[in-house]
Amino acid sequence: MAHRDQTQLNPVDTHPVMLGSLVPPSGVKPLNFSPGPTSLAAEVEAAIKALFDAERMCSMYLSHRSPEFLDILASVVQRCRVAMEIPDQYEILCMHGGGHGQFAAVPLNLCPKGDEKATYLVNGTWSKRALSEASKYCRPIVVSSENPDGTFTHNPSFAHLDPESRYVYLCSNETVNGIEMHQLPKLGIKAPLVVDASSDFSTKPIDWVGCNVGVLYACASKNLGHPGVTLCVIRKDLLGTPSKHCPGVLCYTTNVREGNLWNTIATFNVEVINIYLQWLIAQGGVHEMERRSIAKSAMVYNLIDSSEGFYGTPISDPSIRSRMNVPFDVAGGDEETTRDFLIQGWERGIVGLRTLTPFGVGKYLRASLYNGVSEHQVEVLASFMAGFMKAARAKRAYP
């Protein structure tokens, strides 16, 4: 599935940052802008460390059926409902398998016969991969915005969707491509909306009923915790008719019936989400997270747009530019300048702008600005980018 604009790293370049290292030189504090897994908010990280110093037993060692852990699980569900204003007609699960598991779980739960139609709105790498997996378990109708060169720079049309679809699937933030739906669409057909919100959940409010959300899932490792658990929000009327081929670990109906304890849940990961949600609510909730996301991304985009071409981004339409993941190139993608940029950033602790992916690497770096990245850290990044641009222009002739 490699994109046509992707290339591989120079195999002879062994500098740590060019190999995807996230560890800066000794003694330098890292500022992690990785697309995920990524850093936790500082207060959350401190609270997690305190778990191992507490007199009570840490959830890493608790039985998933113990009363102590049941309290934690109940707290996660309640805090998630409060933080994201989730109505009572939705169930909340903590599931295994990550986003890739949900690529299969959605059709296996919503298409019991296996040949039902489901519309897939493809606007980037992850919705395209979800489509590929879902094609094994349903009959996808594809509405794509892919350009002839394999890139994505806009969203597909929401008009004239097939009303016979069992659901309409979309990814609300495409991390690789830098495209985000800042508000979920109201599609005007009866089919429920299924949302992959893995990289933007908890960063903006959701109109659950008005947008006809049927299923929404989010991996924890961007904005809510670390890898190993996926939050799934399922409207209750969609339960009860899974495919007979749906494994229990992916079955919404089975997991709801068993109180999210059909098998051993990821106990420690769930407690981390609980701590994160507590922090998020204390900070001012999802509306404050949205304000911060707008402010943080604006710092970087404003610098790019005012750089007179030294920095560039593939998404020209501000209304769909991702607040979570800002793709940008340096000096038009010049390899030597980009390498200097990455190394100088790494020496200052700025890491995660280029990471190894299944798709290789292209000319675009990415600054990922999840909840755990503070406004001050983004100020540091923007200041470095401005200083590097000034120095590079003094050294060489750039536009």
Assign 236 a pLDDT band (cuts: 50, 70, 90).
Answer: very high
Residue 57's pLDDT is 80
Residues carrying an active site annotation: 126, 196, 222
Q: Report how far residue 53's alpha carbon sits from residue 89's, in angstroms, rounded to the nearest whole number.
A: 39
d(CA 356, CA 365): 11
pLDDT at 215 over 90: yes
Q: Is the same domain home to 291 and 185?
A: no
The letter for the amino acid at 108 is: L
The pLDDT score that the predictor gives to residue 399 is: 61
pLDDT confidence of residue 184: 98
At 186, is the pLDDT very low, low, confident or very high (cuts 50, 70, 90)?
very high
In a domain, 3, yes or no: no
Residue 175 within a domain = yes
Give dist(CA 93, CA 273) in Å, integer. 12
Q: Based on the fold, state whether residues 275 and 131 are members of the same structural domain.
A: yes
Look at residues 234, 254, 282 and tell me which one is the last residue of a structural domain.
Answer: 282
pLDDT value, residue 383: 98
259 shares a domain with 130: yes
Closest by Cα among 234, 260, 189 to 86: 234
Looking at the fold, whether 333 and 263 belong to one and the same domain comes out as: no
> Tell me, what's the pLDDT at 361?
74
* Cα(273)–Cα(267) distance, integer angstroms: 10
pLDDT at 228: 94
- Please state the φ and ψ torsions of residue 301, each to the nearest 5 degrees: -65, -40
Q: Are residues 221 and 306 in the same domain?
A: no
Residue 48 placed within a domain: no
Same domain, 112 and 179: yes
Q: Is the pLDDT of residue 63 over 90?
A: yes
Query: What is the span of the domain harbouring residue 338?
Result: 16-34+285-395
121: β partners: 143
The whole-number pLDDT of residue 6 equals 42
Q: Which of 282, 307, 325 is where one domain is finished?
A: 282
Q: What is the mean pLDDT of residues 99-124?
A: 98
**How does the average pLDDT of the chain come out, rounded?**
94
Please give the average per-residue pLDDT across 229-245, as a whole number: 98
Domain shared by 231 and 289, yes or no: no
Residues 6+ apart with CB under 8 A from 58: 51, 52, 268
Do 144 and 125 reside in the same domain of the chain?
yes
- Please state, in angstroms and rounded to a whole number, the distance separating the CA atoms of residues 206 and 188: 17
Between 19 and 109, residue with greater pLDDT: 109
Beta strands 168-171; 193-196: pairing state: parallel
Confidence of residue 14 (pLDDT cuts 50, 70, 90): confident
Residues 217 and 255 in one domain: yes
Per-residue pLDDT at 396 exceeds 90: no
Instruction: For residue 52, tell me if it sits in a domain.
Output: no
Whole-angstrom Cα distance, residue 154 to residue 181? Answer: 10
Percent of the chain with pLDDT over 90: 89
The answer to whether 223 and 203 have CB atoms below 8 angstroms apart is: yes
Q: What is the mean pLDDT of residues 238-252?
A: 98
| Residue 276: CA count within 13 A, CB half-sphere | 27
Phi, psi of 368 (to 5 degrees): -100, 130
In this structure, what CATH number is given to the domain that contains residue 194? 3.40.640.10
* Residue 398 pLDDT: 66
* Structural tokens at position 299: 């710092």
Residue 167 has pLDDT above 60, yes or no: yes
Q: Regarding predicted confidence, which is higher, 11 or 76?
A: 76
Domains held by the chain: number: 2
- The predicted pLDDT at position 5 comes to 40
Is residue 7 a part of any domain in this protein?
no
Domain end call among 223, 255, 282 = 282
pLDDT of residue 200: 98
Instruction: Tell whether 247 and 367 lie within a shared domain.
Output: no
Q: How far apart are the C-alpha atoms of 226 and 32, rounded to whole Å?
A: 14
**Residue 297's CATH number:** 3.90.1150.10
* Digit-coded pLDDT (tens) for 294-321: 999 999 999 999 999 999 999 999 999 9
> Is residue 3 predicted with pLDDT exceeding 70?
no
Token pair 């949302």: residue: 195
> Which band of pLDDT confidence, cut at 50, 70 and 90, is reported for residue 12?
low
Residues 110 and 123 in one domain: yes
- Is residue 91 domain-resident? yes
Q: Who contacts 183 (Cβ-Cβ below 8 Å, separation ≥6)? A: 204, 207
Is 1 a domain residue? Answer: no
pLDDT band at 355 (very low <50, low <70, confident <90, very high): confident
Q: Is the pLDDT of residue 8 over 70?
A: no
pLDDT above 70 (res 2): no
Helix (H) or strand (E) holding 295: helix 285-305
Are both 81 and 107 inside the same structural domain?
yes
For residue 177, pLDDT beyond 90: yes
Within 8 A by CB and 6+ apart from 166, the residues are: 110, 111, 116, 117, 118, 138, 191
Q: How much of the chain, in percent, has pLDDT values that exceed 70?
A: 95
Say if residue 247 is preceded by a cis peptide, omega within 30 of 0.
Answer: no
> Within 10 A of 69 (CB to CB), how many other CB atoms are there?
20
In the chain the beta strands, taken as DSSP E runs, fall at 31-32, 90-95, 117-122, 139-144, 168-171, 173-174, 179-180, 193-196, 213-219, 230-235, 311-312, 325-330, 350-351, 365-368
Residue 25 in any domain: the answer is yes
